[in-house]
Structure 1
Amino acid sequence: MEHQESFELWQAFADMHELTDAQLDAFKLYYHELVRQNELFNITAITQLKSVLAYHFSDSLALGRCRDLSEANLIVDVGSGGGFPSFPLKIKYPHLHIVAVEVNNKKADFLEDMAIKLGMDNVIVNRYDWRNFLRKTSYQSDYVVARASLAPDELMRMFRPSSAYRQAKLVYWASKDWTNDGMPEHTLVEACVYSVGSRTHKLVFLGEK
């Protein structure tokens, strides 16, 4: 019974996101490694299959539902943690180049290990904190993404004149009730509302007008 339920959950996930068999196999490997290594050190509080599929994998893939990523080249993932959202996006859109910024060494080790096990190329794990990352790197990114790893006002540092990332779009995973109160007037704000599981979330796109 449990095996049948697991099969149905995976099949529904694959159908929803139009995954190839190889992509589905990659997500299965990712899930099993996430659960296995989470027993050794804390990566995520969410480990039940149904919840991971909804609130980690599908939630990460929401960017592809809100924007056409076929022309995107490089995504910077701030506070990547267990690889969300960048690793699910890389599985679905293998042409993407990924820079996963993660200051926690154990989580950074996990990301490097997963990139190898999943056969991912063009993935860099960077161990700087956010401010040092902005000061010391200059990747030509299309999107800088953050799944509630830092507050929006901290992330907005990327738009300062000295930042190499000021031309990129910042994508912030927010609650459905998020508002742009307090955002600078020169900031372009767009929002994409979507649902995962029983929750309604909002992707907020920030950039220079």
Structure 2
Amino acid sequence: MAKVAPSILSADFANLEKEVKKVEAFGVDFIHIDVMDGHFVPNITMGPCVIESLRKVTSIPFDVHLMIEKPEKYIKDFASVGADLITIHCEATCHIHRALQEVKKYGVKVGVALNPATPLCFIENILEEVDLVLIMSVNPGFGGQNFIRSSLKKISSLKKIILENNYNIKIEVDGGINENNAVEIVKAGADILVAGSAIYKSENPGDIIKKLKMIN
């Protein structure tokens, strides 16, 4: 069964505790937290202080996605406020291996993310270092975009690499996921579905979460 990580990028920022509690009631697996700096992506969202506040109101694992330049400078800050998983973009740092090791130093699970136009060859030499690979299926920065269908081929190719090498790596997919395309995304090899607008803009988010979780 697929795991579901609602993205609070699409939530009501004036009521984040309520928005987290809303999805917590339906047994979600993670809360996906997009951290944007206005440089690596054209948007600015939240920092460690917001995550620290949310950590006090829920025990759901925090899946923290750093869409920031030079993420290695801020890993300690995010690890110390309750991140359970920190994902770094391979495009955002000159020394991705060093940055991944920095995350592991704090006992936090580590992921590496790829933008839609970034090929898998960029991360082949560091797959042994990660717990998760995040495939971006939209260009990062804003919620509500349409799924880029060429991502399906990338997901399938990554799944093949993982199986052939017996890596213990989960594939997470983020961007444009909804109940209409989730089945083929999981079929391609996704383990974790990040959904923002599909959940938070729905009149019945519980139904959407249930449908996503039932996919296998």
- TM-score (structure 1 length as normaliser): 0.40
User: Which protein has the larger Cα radius of gyration, Structure 1 or Structure 2?
Assistant: 1
- Structure ranking higher on relative contact order (CA contacts 8 Å, 6+ apart): 2
